[in-house]
Every structure is written in C-alpha cells, then in structure tokens.
Chains A and B, each alone.
Chain A
Amino acid sequence: MLNYAWFIFLTPIIFAPISVIAGKKRKILAGVLASLSITVSLILSVIVWLSIRGTSTPIYQTFNWFDNINAGIYVDHLAVVMVLMVSFVSLMIHLFAMYYMKDDPRKNTYFGETALFTGGMLGLILASNLLEFFLFWELVGLCSYLLVGFWFFKPNAASAAKKAFIVTRVGDLLFIIGLAVLYSLLTVHNVASPLSIPYLINNAPAIASEIGAQNLTIIGLLFLGGAAGKSAQFPLHVWIPDAMEGPTTVSALIHAATMVTAGIYLIARVLPLYANATPLAGEAVLYIGAFTALFAGTIGIVVNDLKRILAYSTISQIGYMMAALGMVTTFGESVIGYSIYHLVVHAVFKALLFMTAGVILLTLMELRDVKKMGGLWKRMPITISLMFIGSITLAAIPPTAAFFSKDTIIDVAYNYFIMNGSNIYSILPWVFLVVGALMTALYTFRMFFLVALGKPRSKLAEEAKDPPKIVLIPLMILAFMSLTLGLIQYRFYDFIVPNTTRVVVPMIIEYTPLTVVAIGVLITIGIYGTTKWQRMHLEKNPVYRLLKAKYFLDTLFTRVIAERVILPLSSGVSRLEKGFSISIEGAGSGAMGFGGILRKIENGVVEYYFVFLIAGVAILMLLLEILGGI
C-alpha cells in the first residue's frame, strides 16, 4: 500500500503534463491546475506533519529499484519542514504567477514546468536514497535550465540558461563522483543498501570506522562540491546572477526559495557523515560558507540591476546557512536546526522580495536598473511597503524573523571561535559573518532607498502604479510570515533536532551584529537616502572597480579558463574530430558501396541462386572440415 506521502511529490509531477495540455486551449486552466496540484501537496504535507509531529519515527517506505538500490520515501522532521516550506512558498508563487504571467502566450508551458519543478524539488526532499536524490537533483536542474531560458528569444536568457546548466554541471559531476566513491567503498563491505539515506544517517560512526574517516572526508568534500554548484557557493556562484534573465517568478521560486537550497538540504541530510569525517570536511563547509556570505555581499553593494542585487543577497544568505552546517564537529546535529531555520525564513522573505521586484518590473516594463527608478513609494505604496518588510527582514532588523535566525548563526560562529582554541584562524568565520551582516544592510537599504525614495529618474518610474490588491495577497501572507516567524524559533529548533543547544554569548557579542546593521543603515541613509550618491564618482576607485568586475571571477572563467585553456584544447580536439568524421564518412560511403556490391548477389535470377547456395555450402563444409577437425 502506497503511503499518501508519495503523492506529495507525485501530484505536481502528474499534473505538469496535464496542465501543459489542458492549458493549450484555455490558458487560464494551466495556472489553476498547477496551483491546485501544489495545494494538494501542501495539504498532504500538513497531514504528514501532523501525523509525525509527536513521534520521532520517520515515515519510511521503499521498494527494490535494482540490485542493492532501494528507492522510496523517507520523511523525518527535517524533510517534513522542507516539504512544508517548499509546497507553501511554491503555492504562493504560483498564485502570484497567475497574475505575473497572465499575458504570456506560452504560459501553459510555464506552469507545466514550474509544477514539474515543484514535484522534482519535493521528490528530492523525500527521496530515501541518494541515487534517487540525485535523479531529482538533475530534474530540478533541468527545470531550472528550461525556466531560466523560458524567454529564449532573448539572447541573454538563452545564454544564461546555458551558463546555469553548465556551471551546476560541474557541481553535479563532483556530487556523482562522491556518490560513486561512497557506493563502491560501502559495497566492498557488503552493505545491504549502500546509498539509503536512513542507513547513512543512522550508522554514520560505523561507516566511518569501516571505510575510514579520511575517505569519508573526501566524500564529504565531493558532496560539498555538488552542494556549492547547486547552492551557488564560491566559486561556483557565477550562474545565479545571470539566471535572473528568467521570469521573476522563476527567480523567486527556483533561485531564491527552493532549488538553490537543495545543496544545503543535501549537506543537512547527510550531516552525520560530516560529523564522523575528519574535521576538515566540516571546516571546508564552514569557511566556504562564511567566505561566500561576505564575498557575495560585497559585490551586491555595487550592482545596479534590481534582480541581481537580490541574487547576490541570496548567495550571501545561503553562505550563512552553509556556515552554520559547517560547525557540525563542534555543535553536533544542533546546527541543522540553526541552518534550516534560516533557510525557511530566507525562503519566505526572499520569495517576498523577488515577487515585489516582479511587480515593480512588470509595471516598469522590465527596466531593472535601480538607478533609473526612485520615488516608487508614493506611486505604488502597497508594493513598496511589502518590499520594506522584506528589506528589513533581509537586513535582520528586530523583530523580524531573520533577526532571530541570522543572529543565532553569527552567535554560534562566536562560540565556535571560543571552543576551537580562540585563535586567528577560528575567529575568521565570525568576522566574515559579521562583516557580511554589514554588507547585507548596505546593499539592502541601498536597493530599497534607490527604488523607493527620491524623485523618479525615468519616465517609466513616473507612471508606475500598484497592481490590483487581490494579486498581492500571496505577498501579504509572506510579509506577515517574515514578521512573525521569529516567534517559533526554539520550537522550530527542537522540532528538527530534539534538545538543540541553546546559544549563549556575552552581551557585547550578542549586540555586535545589530550594531553593525545599524551602522550600515546609517551609512546608506547618509548616501542613498539623500541625493548624495548622484554626486559620487566611484569609477576611478580601485575597490569599486574590483567589486564592479565581480572580483574578475567571470573574467577568469571566460577569458582565462575558457578562452585560453579550454578553447585551444577544444579546437585541437575538434580538428582531430574533423579528421575522424571524414574517416567515418569515408567508412560510411565505403560501407554503402560494399552493401551495393552485396546486393548484386540478389539479381533475381533463380539459377544463380542455386549456384551461390551450393558454392556457399561447399565453402562452409570445407571450413568445418578444417576447423572442426574430424
């Protein structure tokens, strides 16, 4: 008997083709069907949540897929939280997308693809086996590719989709190598189902002693590579800003709330492996996360494209989640709670911010340069108020939810410093995260002030106006949640990991992030709250240029690695292949000619046939005589 939890991810997948086909004739139907299927998922998720809320026994149902791979579903508290978050946020975004995409001629395809994506994401969360996990991982990657390139007639969108696909492929390659290593090491030890998630998380110490902590570290680093690709961590973050070429609802759904957090979920899922590996595995996660949090934040300060600012902020915020997970060796499984809490809060407010951005872009005809906006608060008060709520949440100003989630992570980083020898090396994460918080405040309010205050700096901005209130309801729900989610902080932690360690830090440390944020807000008010920024000429400033060029990473990837290394290599290979294909063509025409000669045997004259038959049989007999040796 199939558990109903299966239908959490099966429903949207089943509905995806239906909504494409049904939406062909009646356009409205596509959005309705897709939203309906996700509503079903949400309801089922709530039922699952209610049923396993009180117990610690997960829902676990599998069937034998092939050989020693069992596929199925595994729903524990972590998974159920993720499922609730994904189906809820996805539903909100679908509802909003019915307005946002209302004039698109291919909107049935759009809703089919987003429904498929949601199903894939839910399947990824519920997967009970890492191989199954990987398949869904690829499925969401595919949907991301399709949706980023949804407006494929824009050359930017087409190339952005390609870039997103290729860069994440690097991570996926590392991930599947990690899977292969893990599988082959465990198969040697005759494990019944080597890649099964419950097996991995319940027997992590035994696995570590069997295959060695060193090997586990290698596997962990490879998984981290996969997670960095999907979750856009340094240095594989370069695809997300370009992916903003897709419809804004896609950015909200895939590149802010759900898919990019799949990497975090992967590491959280197999966290016991990191806990039992050598400390290097965890440290790599921590330092990459913390560094990305700061690094992406600094770029976010100088970007002018509204959606790209949000994209860099997404990278930075995921860095926080990653950093929290990295401290597993010191705090044990409690870090899952810290990380996932921020993940959920982030999904809510980032989806909100992206959707407000979507509203703005819709009325500004896809004009994305924040320097050309301005004065929108007066013209679209409801939208900008919602954006304000999103912004203060992003900047972690109390009492918004992110204040609780993010500051906890920063405080944990401080404790990490205390508990790991209080040296220059172990204080780095905390420093990165605190400075990252400053950057967050800077880019958030720079964006907000440029958008909302001052005078309109373009014709389009002058004519901006609010959309009908009814379409903003999903946004209002999200805004409400980003203000109130902070109330459930500790209950959330204990739900995910029972008896999560409470974070206690000295008073001064506790207020450091807040102070830093306040400083950031003051700076931005000074520069961007007034018209001072218009008189600043930063083009000559080397730091500005470094940031503006995104640390020359794109240049490094395209100019140096791609053009200097890969292109010559590939042109060499292509020359080789040209020779090869000429020889293949030669072989082909040779084969055709040979076939033509063979066909001459079939000349339709029966007398010849007899001769051929007898001659053939005679030759066969001779051969047998020689070979068989009677």
Chain B
Amino acid sequence: MTFFLYSNILESLYPEIFLGFVAFGMLLMGRRVKNWMVYTTISIMALLISMILLILLDSGSQSFFGGAFVINNFGLYFALILITSSLYVSFTAGSELKHDPEIFFSIFLFVNIAMIIAAFSLNLIFIFIAFEGISVGTYILSAHGKTRRNLEASIKYFFTGVIATGFIVFGSSFYYLSTGTFNLVSVANAADIAKPSMLLALILLFVGFGFKLALVPLQQWAVDTYDGTKNPVSAFLSSGTKVLAFLIILRVFLVGFASMRTDVFYLFTIVSIITMTYGNFAALSENNLKRMLAYSSIAQAGYLILVLTVVSGSTSQFAFTVAIFAAMYYSLVYIFMKGGAFMATGAVNKEKVEINDLSGIGLKSPAFAISLGIMMLALAGIPPTAGFFAKYYLFLSLISGNLWYLAVIGILNSAISVFYYLRVIVVMFRPSSEEREFNLSNSILLPVIIGAVMSIGLSFLIFGYPYLSGIVAGLGVGA
C-alpha cells in the first residue's frame, strides 16, 4: 500500500502544507517572541521556500480529485505571481505593523495558502473555500492596527464581503442546477444546459467574484477599505488579492461559462467600460492620495477585464493568445506598480495622506520621488515602462480581435488617467511652502525602489512572449 503522505496528490500540496506549518509555528511562538523582525524574516523565508517547492513540485501537468484541482504551468505562473506579491508586501509590513506581528504574519501565510489553492482550482466548491479563506484572512488583516479607522474599514469590507460570499454560494448552486456539476471544465455540451438558471448563475457569480476585483457596481467597499487600512494591507488588497480574483474570474467565466460566450462578452463589455470610466473620473478630482490610488485601481481592474471581452467576443486565435498573455503580463506588472505606490504613501506620517503632502519630497529624497514617479508613469502606461507594454498587449489583442471600439475607449481612459498620475509627479517636485518631515526609512524606500526597478525591468518580459504564449493553453479554453 502507499501512504497518503507519499501520494502524488499530497506531494503537490507540500508548499501549502509547509506554509501551514510555519503559520501555526508562528502562532505558538507569539507567546514568547514579539519582535516583528523575526516574523518578517520567517515569513519571507517561508514564502521563498514555498516558491521553490512550487516550482519543483507543481511544474508538471497533473489533475486531481476528478479535475477539481488542476496543476499546470498557467496556474503555477499565477501562483508564483501571488507569492511574489506577498513577498513584496512583507518587506514593509513588519515595520508598519509593530504590535502582534505573529498574528498578522500567520494569517498572512494562511491567506497565501488559500491563494495557492485557488490558483490551481477548477471547481466552484474548491474555489469558494479558497476564496473564503482569503476573504476571512483579509478581513482580519485589514482590521489590524486597531485604530478606529482600521476597524471601520474592516467592518465595511466585512459587511459587503459577506454579501458577496452569499452570492457565490447562491450562484454556485444555480450553476450546479443548470449543469449538474461544480467542475468548471466538464461543461462542454451547451445543449444540456438549462439557460435561465445559467444566466442567474452568471450574474450571481459575477457579483461574488467581481466584488474582490472592485468592479462597478461592486466597488464601494474598496475605496473606504484601501483608505482606512494600513499601507501594506492596502497594497496587498489592491495587488495580490486582486490578481487572484482576476485569475478566478478568468477561470470561472471563460472556462465555466464557455457555453454562454455572448452573455459573458456583453456582461464584461458593459462592466469594463463603466468601471474604467468610473475609476478614472472619480480619481481626477480626488485629493486624498490613497483614495486616488484606490480609484485608480478600480480603473485598472476595468482594463484587466477587457481580456475577457476579447476571449469571449472574438474568434481570432492570435487575439486570444495575446489577450491571455496580456492578462499574465499585466498581473505581474500590476502588483509592483500598484503595490509599490500604496506602500509609498507610508512616507507621509499622517493618517489621511493628501497628494499635496508629498510636495517637496523630490528635493528631500530624489530616489524616492523618481521611483514613485516611475511607478506613476507605469500606471499611466507611458513607455518605456512595463506598464506601457502591458497596456500595449492588451490593446493589441482588442484591435486584433476586431474590438477596436473597446480599444478606443480604453485608450481615451488612459489619456484621462495621465492627468492624475502626472499630478503626483508634479507635486513631488514642487517646493513645499512648509517644512515637512517624511518617513524615509528603509522599509519605505526599499519597496518603492524595488517597485520602480521592476516597473522598468519587467518590460524585458516581452521577450518571454514565445514561452509565455505557450502556457496560455493551461487556462483550459480555446478561441
């Protein structure tokens, strides 16, 4: 007989199991050790090790539990991105959140476990559980800090999040009702599907999953929550969990609803137009830096889901490949440019950070200002940053998929967004009228510089197109 511990299934779950052990270990250590540096180091090491384990154990192509848990390079790519995002956040998290670090980091690792599982799941129940793991974990993370603002942000997040959870359950049951399975891949025969309940499932699941990505009309929690939580948590919420939600949306709506391509196309066309426009316009006149970034991340989510419109709305194989490649590329770039920007707000020692509070920082610390400037340029999609190439591939896929009107709307929106991104740069290099103290410790400066370097350096990933376009098929959907 074979031991369960040595079976293939368990072997591929080693990264998650390892992270779990470390997380529990941290909880136990918390009684004695309160030094945040210890926990930061442990969690960085643990995440690195789990990354290596992922690459070693999960780089093949396997399928377990009757197709519910599928390991392939596409999922692996996203799992690695998600862990990279967590790594990036944990550089600064410890010094920002000095009390109860063991709780923060152990929950952080639990969230990571859920994220890895979610990255490989193709079953609505699996996804639901993993997704809830992330949600519950992030509710706690966003409450961390225990000021009134943190708690308020977390409560808002929690209340709206619970509704989304309800919608997921409801939607999954409708999905089961119409298809007879929770697995996303096995719904191939369109004729067998009961259409009206499938449409209900589509909308309900859209609400549930779109909630995390803060798509309009599910966006309201995002601004308040990003604004109210600690910077590393906002960075994580707006980068890591967003990319994960995006991956799940890709899976659910492209694979699970492959039989309803027209509906998926219309749904995401409407939503992406509204989301982009809403985010960009609302960000225009926003003076609060974190709220501005929150609106901008709503707008960015609007760009991201354009991928779904291409895949569901066009028949060109090239457009399909480029679109998925753009999704993969954009997700990777996004965690650095958005996460870095959120962490940069920590440079101002205030609870509510206004954009104007940054004035004069360009003279105090050119490195900081230039780095943040680069990230702003990347967010605005100005060459030669990686943000430009991400948008380039996205719009290329739209145009080659004959969806040029969406490309035009997207480009117009980018043009609008340049205004508020460049405004940050202008303000930074404006001499300030009053003397200001900035927090430019290494835990702020380092992530910001890393973010800027990656925002430029990742543009070389375009040379990875031949390889990455090869693993696109791992999504499990054809054009």
Pick from A594, A595, A613: contact of B220, CB below 8 A: A613
Q: What's the Cα separation between A120 and B217 when bound, in Å?
A: 55
Q: How far is the CA of A507 from the CA of B156 in the complex (A)?
A: 102
Once A and B bind, how many residue pairs between them come within 8 Å at the CB atom? Answer: 85
What separation, in Å, do the CA atoms of A599 and B281 have in the docked complex? 9
Would you call A620 and B199 a contact (CB within 8 A)? no
Q: Is B354 an interface residue (CB 8 A)?
A: no
Quick check: is B267 within 8 A (CB to CB) of the other chain? yes
Q: Is B266 an interface residue (CB 8 A)?
A: yes
Evaluate whether A598 and B262 lie within 8 angstroms (CB atoms) in the complex, with A620-B203, A630-B195 already known.
Answer: no
* Nearest CB of A to B267, in Å: 6
Rounded to whole Å, the gap between the CB of B149 and the closest CB of chain A is 11
Known: A606-B156, A627-B266. A591 touches B220 (CB 8 A): no
A612 adjacent to B220 (CB under 8 Å): yes
Residue numbers in A under 8 Å from B266 (CB-CB): 623-624, 627-628
Is B216 among interface residues, defined by CB-CB distance under 8 A? yes
Q: Give A592-612 as 1s and 0s: 1 = Cβ < 8 Å from B's Cβ atoms.
A: 111110110110101011101
- Interface presence of A579 (CB below 8 A): no
Q: Which residue of A591, A598, A610, A620 contacts B270 across the interface (Cβ within 8 Å)?
A: A620
* Interfacial chain A residues near B267, Cβ < 8 Å: 620, 624, 628
Q: A398 near B: Cβ within 8 Å?
A: no
Chain B 416-473 residues near chain A, CB threshold 8 A = 416, 419
- Given A591-B416, A610-B160, A613-B207, the answer on whether A630 and B263 have CB atoms closer than 8 Å is yes
Contacts of A155 in B (CB 8 A): none
A616 CB–B CB distance under 8 Å: yes
- Of chain A, the residue at the smallest CB distance from B416 is A591
- Cα A610 to Cα B159 in complex, Å, equals 9
A624 touches B216 (CB 8 A): no
Are B271 and A620 in contact (CB-based, < 8 A)? yes
Bound CA–CA A604/B284 (angstroms): 19
A591 to B196, CA, bound (A): 39
Tell me if A598 and B282 are in contact (CB < 8 A).
yes
For the complex, would chain A's binding face be called helix, strand, loop or mixed by DSSP majority? helix
Across-interface contacts of A623 in B (CB, < 8 A): 266, 270
B286 interfacial by beta-carbon distance below 8 Å: yes
Contacts of B263 in A (CB 8 A): 624, 628, 630
A595-B203 contact in complex given A606-B159, A613-B163, C-beta closer than 8 Å: no
**Chain A residues with CB under 8 A of B199:** 621, 624-625, 628, 630
Q: Are A602 and B285 in contact (CB under 8 A)?
A: no
A609 in contact with B281 given A620-B270, A627-B266, A628-B263 (CB within 8 Å): no
A615 interfacial contact with B, CB 8 Å: yes
B278 within 8 A of A: yes
Complex interface bits, B266-282 against A, C-beta within 8 A gives 1, otherwise 0: 11001100000010011
Cβ-based interface call for B283 (8 A): yes
Q: Of the candidates A598, A615, A621, A627, which one forms a contact with B278 in the assembled complex, judged by CB atoms under 8 Å apart?
A: A598
- B78 contacts partner chain A, Cβ-Cβ < 8 Å: no
B369 at the interface (CB under 8 A from A): no
In the bound assembly, the distance between CA atoms of A596 and B271 in angstroms comes to 21
> Does B223 sit within 8 A of A, measured CB to CB?
yes
Q: Does A569 sit at the interface, judged by CB under 8 A? A: no
A617 in the interface, Cβ–Cβ < 8 Å?
yes
Write the nearest CB–CB distance from B399 to chain A, whole angstroms. 18
Bound complex: CA A598 to CA B298 (Å)? 13
Query: Given the known A-B contacts A620-B203, A623-B270, A630-B195, are A595 and B282 also in contact in the complex, defined by CB atoms under 8 Å?
Result: yes
Minimum Cβ distance to chain B for residue A63 (Å):
13
Are B217 and A602 in contact, CB atoms less than 8 angstroms apart? no
Q: Which residues on the A side are within 8 Å of B155 (C-beta)?
A: 606
In the complex, which residue of chain A has the Cβ closest to the Cβ of B281?
A595
* Contact assessment for A599 and B160 in the assembled complex, using a CB-CB cutoff below 8 Å: no
Nearest CB to that of A615 among chain B residues? Answer: B217
Q: Is the CB of B224 within 8 A of A613?
A: no
Let me know if A598 and B203 touch, CB within 8 A: no
Measured CA separation A86–B163 after assembly (Å): 74
Bound Cα distance from A610 to B166, whole angstroms: 13
CB contacts under 8 Å to B, within A128-160, are none
Residues of A with C-beta under 8 A to B195:
630
Q: Is B218 engaged at the interface, CB distance under 8 Å to the other chain?
A: yes
Nearest-CB distance from A547 to chain B (Å)?
Answer: 50
Give the nearest-CB partner of A626 in chain B.
B266
Counting CB contacts under 8 A, is B368 at the interface? Answer: no
Q: Which residue of B lies closest to A607 (CB)?
A: B159
- In this assembly, does B221 line the interface, its C-beta being within 8 Å of a C-beta of chain A? yes
User: Are B207 and A617 in contact, CB atoms less than 8 angstroms apart?
Assistant: yes
> For residue B223, which residue of chain A has the nearest CB?
A602
Chain B residue contacts of A599, Cβ below 8 A: 282, 285-286, 295
Q: Give B397 Cβ to nearest chain A Cβ, in Å.
A: 19
A609 in contact with B220 given A617-B207, A624-B199 (CB within 8 Å): yes
Interface set, chain B 279-311, CB cutoff 8 A to A: 281-286, 295
A595–B277 Cα distance when bound, in Å, is: 9
CB 8 Å contact bits of B200-237 with A (1 = contact, 0 = none): 00110011000000001110110110000000000000
A596 touches B285 (CB 8 A): yes
Inter-chain contacts of B221 with A (CB < 8 A): 609
Q: Which residues of A contact B (CB under 8 A)?
A: 588, 591-596, 598-599, 601-602, 604, 606, 608-610, 612-613, 615-617, 619-621, 623-625, 627-630
Q: Which 4 A-B residue pairings sit nearest by Cβ, starting from the closest?
A: A616-B217, A628-B263, A595-B281, A595-B284
A-B contact pairs, 23 of them (CB 8 A): A588-B419, A591-B281, A591-B416, A592-B284, A593-B285, A595-B285, A595-B286, A599-B286, A608-B220, A609-B156, A610-B160, A615-B217, A617-B217, A620-B203, A621-B199, A623-B270, A624-B263, A624-B266, A627-B266, A628-B262, A629-B262, A630-B195, A630-B263
- Sample of 15 more A-B contacts, CB < 8 Å, known A591-B416, A606-B159, A624-B203: A591-B284, A595-B284, A595-B285, A598-B282, A599-B295, A602-B220, A602-B224, A606-B155, A606-B160, A609-B220, A613-B217, A620-B267, A621-B203, A624-B199, A624-B202
